[in-house]
A and B are shown apart, each in its own frame.
Chain A
Amino acid sequence: MTSQIDELFERTRAENRAALVGYLPSGFPTKEQSIRAIEAMVEGGVDLVEVGLPYSDPVMDGPVIQAAAEQALAAGSRTTDVLDVVRASAATGAPTVVMTYWNPVERYGVERFAADLAAAGGSGLITPDMIPDEAGEWVAASEANGLDRIFLVAPSSTDERLAMTVEAASGFVYATAVMGVTGARDQTSSLGEELVARVKRVTDKPVGVGLGVSNGAQAHEIAEYADAVIVGSALVRCLLDAPDESAGLDAIRSLARDLRAGVERT
């Protein structure tokens, strides 16, 4: 079955560009404002939206996303709010996935979460602390509900693990370009290109590269070898740094435009 994400990658391949994937946390600074920020991001040119589910113990995240998640939780953000944000995001027409640590999904009920996510128009899940080895229940629930499973691969992944993870993944494969947590970095890493090349040797599934991307020039470098460029902390920082909401939305729109120009290959 062809998913919305599959269709997106068919289109970006035809357009000879990488897809632009943008991350923003649900409920930061409020549910309504997070929806408007996602809409601004899509207006600016983001093709695929990652909605972050704020979690109390985000071990893969650097200070920017940690701060946003803490504020969202302090403001009372709930799992059901994330589904509302997904509904609004999917209504923009951009395929929308949830990026979440595993425990909130397990607590909600894996099958129930999958069904509710699909009903909200969500396309899948990115699971930073769920590896295919432990994912039996999630694989079944995602298949039953037509959701994509975006697993991560890392520079440290062995060839054997890479092949196994890619086989279990659908939609796209999330390649973490550096050994480290989320957060903008001044320079892109050569590890990303090597990792994508290793993934490409074992699959024709699209590969997205994330961790550390913060501007159009970096996006352009990555678009040369990857199918998608994934940006998170730099977008979240637009909101954290803004004096008011409209300035934050302007900053997001403008960064998204810069990134979108970057993912063109010509």
Chain B
Amino acid sequence: MSYAQPDPTGHFGRFGGRFMPEALIAPLDELDRAWTDAKADPVFMAELDRMLREYANVPSPLYEAHRFSEAVGARILLKREDLNHTGAHKIRNVIGQALLAKRIGKPRAIAETGAGQHGVASATACAYLDLECTVYMGEVDTERQALNVARMRMLGAEVVPVTSGSRTLKDAINEALRDWVASVDTTSYLFGTAAGPHPFPSMVRDLTRGIGDEARAQALALDGRLPDAAVACVGGGSNAIGLFTAFIDDSDVRLVGIEAGGDGVATGRHAATITGGDVGVLHGARSFLLQDEDGQTVESHSISAGLDYPGVGPEHSYLADIGRATYTPATDAEAMAAFDLLCKTEGIIPAIESAHALAGALDLAKELGPDATILVNLSGRGDKDVHTAAEYFGLIDEPVVLEQGVEE
């Protein structure tokens, strides 16, 4: 039987749904209808497709990483999302949501960002499509990511530092929601990942699923068969759901999500939501999340700013529940070892987020052996992570201000 999720009210089994102020329910219904109509409109879809091709450099190539494959002991195919405009898969989601905002006719867009990658992608799409753009970013992150703040401002966006709560990504989402509840008549919320209230998880999936659709066709063209496994990192989960969706009905293809293990799940300092969290409600959906005994959200920890989020998209919780995908953690150290290996064997500097997926592929290679073909989503490039990585590997003496971080 073919996979068809979510149900009409946005539930993936017991996950998802809408846990939102009533004031936002009618606007969410409106967004749901608008996206359903747009998806069915060949003119809209052709326009989106054209923009992705001409502007965002999509489809991205599938690349057989020979030297990396040799080093890890299995054949590795990399889906090169790092070559997209703005350097990550994020642009697919944001161009789609921004074009939908134009269609609905709201002149202003807001977005949240952690490290700045979704913020930069949003500012980019808003400049491209002539929308006014406000980006909420935790104050801690604006300090850590000063260059991304400058980049967003260069692109014409207003960046608002968020000083409430832990002053990181989850608080930026809270503040964006507070803006939206007061401004929804004129404002679209460009949500950065496949989480949040319905219809965001399925809409973001629809917009990112090109990753897997392309990779599936590219793998078939290359090998005449499907890969044995598809691997992606999971923070909120947009690149992973974008990769997995094409393969869900291919039961012979293992789907593996790699969560941010931080210092190790046992230490409590991690962002491995499915591995180490419990079911609850955060930011509008029921899913796994990191929480204390009282249901207060617990701060996550990861070397990768883009995976540093205490929640996860509801469809991943569902895929874990039904056993169609498995989710395992890679620690900071494992991710950085894989980061180093890709740099040295392929001359590709991956985003630290994507390095988690590479670390997962290393483990999988040991299990599946040299005859296996493993598809890995290289969801973003690592230019932004040069500072973090250089510090980690002790390559610079003095701290220098460089950009870092991406949301996965």
Query: Real complex partners, A and B?
Result: yes
Q: Tell me, yes or no, whether A203 is within 8 Å of chain B by CB.
A: no
**Chain A positions 224 through 255: 1 when the CB is less than 8 Å from some CB of chain B, otherwise 0:** 00000000000000000000000000000000
Interface residues of B (CB under 8 A from A): 9, 17-27, 29, 164-165, 170-171, 174, 177-178, 181-185, 280-284, 291, 293-297
Would A180 and B170 count as touching, CB distance under 8 A?
A: no
The 8 Å CB contact of B165, one of A70, A106, A151, A156, is: A70
Most buried by B among A63, A104, A152: A104
Q: A131-B19, A176-B22 are in contact. List 4 more A-B contacts (CB 8 A).
A: A66-B164, A102-B281, A103-B295, A156-B24
CA distance A178 to B291 in the complex (A): 31
Would B19 and A134 count as touching, CB distance under 8 A?
A: yes
CA distance A266 to B282 in the complex (A): 45
Stretch from A5-13, A15-23, A54-62, A114-122 that touches the partner: A54-62
With CB as the reference atom, state the residue of chain A lying closest to B283: A57
* Residues of chain A from 37 to 79 with CB closer than 8 A to chain B in the complex: 55-60, 62-63, 66, 70, 73, 78-79
| Inter-chain CB contacts under 8 Å: number | 118
The 8 Å CB contact of B295, one of A107, A131, A165, A180, is: A107
Would B20 and A131 count as touching, CB distance under 8 A?
A: yes
18 A/B residue pairs, CB under 8 Å, sorted by A: A56-B296, A57-B170, A59-B20, A79-B294, A102-B281, A103-B281, A103-B295, A103-B297, A104-B295, A104-B296, A107-B294, A129-B21, A131-B20, A134-B17, A153-B22, A156-B27, A179-B185, A180-B182
Q: Tell me, yes or no, whether A36 is within 8 Å of chain B by CB.
A: no
The 8 Å CB contact of B174, one of A57, A107, A108, A156, is: A57
Q: Tell me, yes or no, whether A161 is within 8 Å of chain B by CB.
A: yes
CA distance A43 to B121 in the complex (A): 54
Residues in chain A near residue B293, CB distance under 8 A:
107
**Chain A positions 191 through 221: 1 when the CB is less than 8 Å from some CB of chain B, otherwise 0:** 0000000000000000000000000000000
Most buried by B among A59, A66, A151: A59
Known: A57-B170, A57-B283, A156-B26. A133 touches B18 (CB 8 A): yes
The 8 Å CB contact of B280, one of A106, A152, A178, is: A106
Would B25 and A107 count as touching, CB distance under 8 A?
A: no
The 8 Å CB contact of A181, one of B9, B29, B181, B282, is: B181
CA distance A104 to B281 in the complex (A): 9
Known: A102-B19, A151-B22. A78 touches B164 (CB 8 A): no
Q: Tell me, yes or no, whether A146 is within 8 Å of chain B by CB.
A: no
Most buried by A among B27, B29, B281: B281
